[in-house]
Amino acid sequence: MENIVIAISRQYGSGGKTIGAMLAKELGINCYSREILRMASEDSGINESLFGMSDEKIKRAGWFRILKRPYDGELLPPEDREFVSEDNLFNYQAKIIKELAGQESCVIIGRCADYVLRGYPNLVSVFIHADEKFCLERSMERHSMSEKEMQKYIEKTDAFRGDFYRYHTGREWSDARNYDLCLNSGKLGFQKCVEEIKAYIKIRFA
């Protein structure tokens, strides 16, 4: 059987990244998140800091909320004036995601991997969410912010993730129709989310 790739999108504070890491460990496969930025940097020759700076720049850009430029796979050469543009930086990350899918079974966190691999037959796309109280309480455990500051941070982060997804895919991030599974980690808990994903994989690829 071909490699199976589990692409996980998640609300901030829902524990999606933790669930992805737990799932990868139980399946004996790799989990990729920000490592993709490093790999894209090595592949393109573009400084890794520019990939992180691009995310921060996009967070502050009003135009990003209203434009859509769905990923088409085109990579620009170094001599192109748009070589280090936000679009091309994303395209190099997408290139890495596709290469990983071709090389190994793995878990990929974020980066619109569900859309980048949408034509891949062994893709399992998952959206992890939870209610506001759960996300807030869990986030407060890990950050020294006031409750009000944390709530604002969660809202901004989820808004950015939605904007980022819409811009690069033309789709809505929180639309259940984009995913094979939508799991409420606040009700199930992390381990049961892992078990649900494993059960889906077993049934689908038996």
* Bridge partners of residue 116, in order along the sequence: none
Residue type at 98? K
Backbone angles phi, psi at 100, to 5 degrees: -60, -45
* Bridge partners of residue 123, in order along the sequence: 5
What is the share, in percent, of the chain residues with pLDDT greater than 90?
Answer: 74
8 A C-beta contact, residue 179 and residue 125:
yes
Average pLDDT over residues 4-20: 97
pLDDT score at 63:
56
Assign 141 a pLDDT band (cuts: 50, 70, 90): confident
Q: How many CB atoms lie within 10 A of CB 89?
A: 23
If one counts the domains in the chain, the total is: 1
Assign 144 a pLDDT band (cuts: 50, 70, 90): confident
In tens, the pLDDT along 119-135 reads 999 999 999 999 999 99
Separation of alpha carbons 54 and 170, rounded Å: 19
Q: Bin 111: left if φ > 0, else alpha if -120 < ψ < 50, else beta.
A: left
In tens, the pLDDT along 158-168 reads 998 998 899 89
Q: Which domain holds residue 142?
A: 5-204
Residue type at 30? N
- The CATH number of the domain where 134 resides is what? 3.40.50.300
pTM of the model: 0.91
In tens, the pLDDT along 62-116 reads 656 667 788 888 898 889 898 988 889 999 999 999 999 999 999 999 999 999 9
Question: Which residue stretches of the chain are H helix?
Answer: 16-27, 35-44, 48-59, 86-103, 113-116, 132-142, 147-169, 185-188, 190-204
Torsion over CA: 10, 37, 98, 64 (sign): positive
In tens, the pLDDT along 181-194 reads 999 999 999 999 99
